[in-house]
Amino acid sequence: MAAAQPLVFRWGIISTGMIAQSFVKDLLVDPKTRDTHDVIHLVQAVGSRSVEKAQEFITTYAAGDKKIKAYGTYAEVYADPDVDAVYIGTPHTLHYENAKDALLAGKHVLCEKATTSNAAELRDLLKLTKERKLFFMEALWTRFHPLTKEVKRVAEDGTLGDPITLHADLSGFFDIENIPKTHRILDPQLGGGALLDLGPYPMIWAVLALYEHPSNKAARPTSITGSMLKTPITDVDMCTSFTLNFTEHLRAQAVLTCSIAASSPTPAVTIRYLKGNILIQPPIYCPKTFTVQYFDKPGSGNVVREETRTFEYVGNGWHFEADEVARCVRDGKLESETWGHDKSLLLMDVFDEVRRQGNYVLPEGVEKIKA
């Protein structure tokens, strides 16, 4: 029997910044190099606030493909009948308006993290998604990596027992003394600071190892604590730490940190169990290596066996989330089973609470809907 033709999935790209560039480069990697045979990605249109930037983006990142349309507004991408899904790569505080406009125009949406400025905005988007029967997913690319799937398998195969403690950090040195105050990592108008930019990654590992663990039965954390250390430069959070307790069905705690003024430790994720540990090497948004340690006796800490696994592929890892979107849309799903709406909402609820405890108030008008 002849093999079925792959689905050709047509993307409209919103914005031309750093992440839009990375995403498009990966879209154009031959899917067969990652053993994907059912989907092919096509960049149909690029929208920017400047048509010249959109054209330059196509020239640089899509080999000047004449079939790709360059638009000087985002609205033209949403209105393009040849676009199946819109990828939103603008700064966090613009996601709500951009995603809403795309959904109202009837497009499926893949939206960068942090999905919105707050949970109320995300709830509103998810309501719209359901009303319009469209697909919506937060672009938490890490969750779709082959390494992540393997960590999940090990975490849930029962060999290590139930999780007890998880430490996860994502930090990066952004040279905040020397970059402009309008840089998105410093500008409160753009949701600057560590939590909304870097926090999704420690969270992804807490979600995978604790929230998703079968023994947890999808129970949300029963308590959240947070502490923020602000930078005097613009008063956004420079270092943030937060803890989540999962006590409904587990007895487990996640201790999560992020900073825009330092680099991450190695390992950057440690998940501890009675019978061993899982250690994940940085960067935790795209780790290539993890190690499982097994103890001689439960709780002893005496490592008698260690297995390290490394994962390599062509491209930089953003194509896996693109495959997920195309397959979900093809199959008529409104959300991904791997990174569903419940998880994006959990992240935003946690971030709201940590910002509340850390007294990080976004400037007036930034949050389009208040909690």
Ligand X SMILES: NC(=O)C1=CN([C@@H]2O[C@H](COP(=O)(O)OP(=O)(O)OC[C@H]3O[C@@H](n4cnc5c(N)ncnc54)[C@H](OP(=O)(O)O)[C@@H]3O)[C@@H](O)[C@H]2O)C=CC1
Ligand Y SMILES: O=C1OC[C@@H](O)[C@H](O)[C@H]1O
**Least CB distance from residue 142 to ligand X, whole Å?**
8
305 contact choice in ligand X, ligand Y, none (CB below 5 to 8 Å, kind-dependent): none
Query: Which CB sits closer to ligand Y, 115 or 253?
Result: 115
Counting residues that bind ligand Y (by CB under 6 A) gives 3
| CA-to-CA dists, residue 249 to 40, 60, 214, 216, 345, angstroms | 42, 51, 10, 5, 20
Does position 188 bind ligand X by CB under 6 A?
no
Does position 101 bind ligand Y by CB under 6 A?
no
Query: Which CB sits closer to ligand Y, 87 or 273?
Result: 87
Residues in contact with 277: Cβ distance below 8 Å, sequence separation at least 6, in sequence order:
160, 270, 271, 292, 293
Query: Which CB sits closer to ligand X, 108 or 113?
Result: 113
**Least CB distance from residue 299 to ligand Y, whole Å?**
35
For Cα atoms 176, 180, 183, give the angle at the middle one, nearest 5 degrees.
85
Peptide bond into 283 cis (omega under 30): yes
Does position 285 bind ligand Y by CB under 6 A?
yes
Task: Report long-range pairs for 2-6 (Cβ below 8 Å, ≥24 apart).
Answer: 3/37, 4/38, 6/31, 6/37, 6/38, 6/39, 6/40
Best CA proximity match to 353, nearest among 231, 203, 187, 210: 203
Query: Which CB sits closer to ligand Y, 23 or 285?
Result: 285
172 contact choice in ligand Y, ligand X, none (CB below 5 to 8 Å, kind-dependent): ligand Y
Chain residues 92-111 in contact with ligand X, contact rule CB under 6 A: 92, 94
The Cα 205–Cα 209 span in angstroms is: 6
Q: Is 176 helix (H, G, I), strand (E, B) or coil?
A: coil
Residues in contact with 144: Cβ distance below 8 Å, sequence separation at least 6, in sequence order:
320, 321, 323, 324, 338, 339
Does position 202 bind ligand Y by CB under 6 A?
no
Does position 285 bind ligand X by CB under 6 A?
yes
Closest chain position to ligand Y (CB): 285
Does position 193 bind ligand Y by CB under 6 A?
no
16 contact choice in ligand Y, ligand X, none (CB below 5 to 8 Å, kind-dependent): ligand X
Q: Are 116 and 94 in contact (CB under 8 A)?
A: no
Counting residues that bind ligand X (by CB under 6 A) gives 21
Binding footprint of ligand Y on the chain (CB under 6 A): 172, 197, 285
Binding footprint of ligand X on the chain (CB under 6 A): 15-19, 48-49, 53, 89-92, 94, 112-113, 139, 141, 184, 190, 197, 285
